Amino acid sequence: MAEKEILLNVENLHVYYGVIHAVKGVSFKVPKGSIITIIGANGAGKTSTLKAIMNLVKQKKGKVIYNGEDISKKGTHEIVARGLTLVPEGRHVFPNLTVLENLLLGAYLRNDKEIKKDLEFVYYLFPRLKERKHQKAGTLSGGEQQMLAIGRALMSRPDCIMMDEPSLGLAPIIVKQIFDIILKLREEGKTILLVEQNAFQALKISDYAYVMETGKIVLEGKAKDLLNDERVKEAYLG
Ligand SMILES: Nc1ncnc2c1ncn2[C@@H]1O[C@H](COP(=O)(O)OP(=O)(O)OP(=O)(O)O)[C@@H](O)[C@H]1O
Ligand SMILES: [Mg+2]
């Protein structure tokens, strides 16, 4: 089988916070149309890795290639405009704006007639958001806020969506809905880079996975192989 086209290629990425060396030379590849996951414990450097890809950290080193182009030195808005986006850890919706206003903010870089179509796509994925489009985001449940954060990211019409701990703090039934949506996004042709502490669920839906510990990738493999790996089982699957 021919190797799939690599949409996102991260090479030797480092992140520093002053004297703290949080990400120590991380490299990984995200093939087009796949779900790739990075698992790892608290403080492993997962969020820092995603932020560095979006150029949301001050000090970083390394190369990030997206769709064949070096984006390491591009501004965040330029990266979003190229089709790569991040659903941040903790959701960060604007509580005093309505659902619809939050969604439209996700499209702020765009000025085309397709915005309405993309809004319909978000409402198709998340009928709940459509029902609540005039409700203030701060009054939504945790699960609904996560749906809104994903919906807002989709409004930039990304090809690749990075999600930082989308299941954190959500009830099991809502977690299942979120993971079902991730699978659906792949069916719709999107590419997903998922960061999760919920290793079991993440590995179940992913194609390939990386394990991060204290700033480094210590293990990688097909997700279904990692589900059966003794080291992974012991450290992450309880
Ligand atoms: N703004 C910051 N200033 C200083 N240190 C930071 C900052 N952000 C993160 N760090 C440190 O960098 C390391 C990696 O943090 P990061 O948030 O990337 O980990 P993570 O894998 O996402 O953890 P979690 O699973 O808890 O979200 C940690 O030791 C953290 O304390
Ligand atoms: Mg994190």
CB 24 within 8 A of CB 215: yes
For the segment 178-199, what is each residue's pLDDT rounded down to a tens digit? 999 999 999 999 999 999 988 9
Nearest residue to 66 via CA among 53, 48, 75: 53
pTM, two decimals, is 0.95
pLDDT at residue 11 above 90?
Answer: yes
Domain chopping of the chain, boundaries: 1-83+160-238, 93-157
- Which residue's C-alpha comes closest to atom 24 of ligand 1? 42
For the segment 36-59, what is each residue's pLDDT rounded down to a tens digit? 999 998 999 999 999 999 999 999
Name the CATH superfamily for 1-83+160-238: P-loop containing nucleotide triphosphate hydrolases (3.40.50.300)
Residue 57 CA: nearest ligand 1 atom is 1
For the segment 53-108, what is each residue's pLDDT rounded down to a tens digit? 999 999 999 999 999 999 999 999 999 999 999 999 998 999 999 999 999 998 87
Helix (H) / strand (E) containing 87 = strand 84-87
- Which residue's C-alpha comes closest to atom 29 of ligand 1? 43
Side-chain-facing half-sphere of 22: CA atoms under 13 Å: 19
- Give the mutation target among 19, 20, 37, 195 for probing the ligand 1 site: most ligand atoms within 8 A of CB: 20
Residue 48 Cβ < 6 Å to ligand 1? yes
Question: Could you tell me whether strands 59-66 and 69-70 are parallel, antiparallel, or unpaired per DSSP bridges?
Answer: antiparallel
**Ligand 2 is a single-atom ion; what residues have CB below 5 A from it?**
46-47, 89
How many angstroms does the Cα of residue 165 sit away from the middle of ligand 2? 7
| Cα separations in angstroms, 158 against 119, 135, 142, 151 | 13, 25, 23, 11
Residue 40 CA: nearest ligand 1 atom is 21
pLDDT at residue 3 above 70?
Answer: no
CB 110 within 8 A of CB 156: yes
Backbone angles phi, psi at 215, to 5 degrees: 85, 0
CB 194 within 8 A of CB 37: yes
